[in-house]
């Protein structure tokens, strides 16, 4: 969640140096930094559920799952973001890196304060990553997941998954994930559906 902006211009190198010692994570957009606010319990549970599921499904593949503290650096090196989860299948085993430069799938758990940015400008920025095949938006107030999938000619197609009976198909990873598993232990007040 973007909480506030700094009024001081930073070079990408200065930003990366600041992030090494900062107790607060920051997004970086064209010289400005934006402090990231902490998430809710629902947000945290959704991220954890997804990370556990992805690690389990991808344990025998070259793909690695990263969460929270791993940045994505865009090609122009003028933008850095901290997605909620990243799956990278580039085979890079340098575990000292703090940036995923070739994400295959990016997950963002939506909140009311960030949903517009996640669906709008952030998605526009992420689309510039040639390696990105799917962009997944997970609702934090209903059982709903949107998958934007790259198709021919860099055309992005939206597929929505609604309700606990739905199965999220991650074509780039060749896996299907149940929304029941994604939303495990989460019950929304206005829902008659119940998770395990």
**pLDDT tens per residue across span 7-27:** 678 899 999 898 888 888 889
pTM for the model: 0.90
Owner of token pair 């400005």 = 32
Alpha helices by DSSP H, listed for the chain, are: 12-21, 41-57, 115-119, 121-126, 179-182
Q: What is the pLDDT of residues 39-72, one digit of tens each?
A: 889 999 999 999 999 999 999 999 999 987 889 9
User: Shortest CA distance to 160 belongs to which of 143, 173, 171, 145?
Assistant: 145
When pLDDT is cut at 50, 70 and 90, the band that residue 94 belongs to is low
CATH number given to 40-182:
3.90.1570.10
Q: 162 vs 7, 144, 145, 165, 183, CA distance in Å?
A: 41, 5, 7, 8, 12
Listed by start position, the domains of the chain span 40-182
Distance CA 110, CA 119 (A): 9
When pLDDT is cut at 50, 70 and 90, the band that residue 192 belongs to is low
């Amino acid at each position: 969640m973007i909480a506030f902006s700094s009024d001081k211009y930073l070079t990408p190198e200065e930003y990366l140096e600041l992030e090494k010692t900062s107790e607060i994570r920051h997004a970086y957009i064209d010289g400005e930094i934006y402090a990231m606010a902490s998430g809710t319990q629902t947000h945290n549970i959704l991220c954890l559920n997804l990370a556990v599921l992805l690690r389990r499904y991808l344990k025998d593949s070259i793909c690695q799952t990263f969460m929270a503290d791993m940045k994505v650096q865009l090609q122009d090196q003028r933008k850095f973001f901290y997605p909620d989860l990243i799956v990278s299948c580039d085979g890079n085993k340098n575990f000292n890196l703090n940036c995923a430069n070739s994400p295959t799938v990016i997950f963002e758990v939506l909140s009311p304060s960030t949903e517009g940015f996640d669906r709008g400008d952030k998605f526009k920025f992420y689309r510039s990553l040639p390696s990105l095949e799917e962009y997944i938006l997970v609702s934090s107030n209903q059982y709903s997941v949107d998958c934007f999938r790259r198709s021919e000619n860099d055309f992005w197609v939206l597929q929505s998954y609604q309700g606990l009976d739905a199965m999220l198909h991650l074509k780039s990873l060749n896996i299907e994930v149940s929304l029941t598993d994604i939303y495990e232990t989460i019950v929304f007040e206005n829902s008659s559906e119940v998770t395990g």
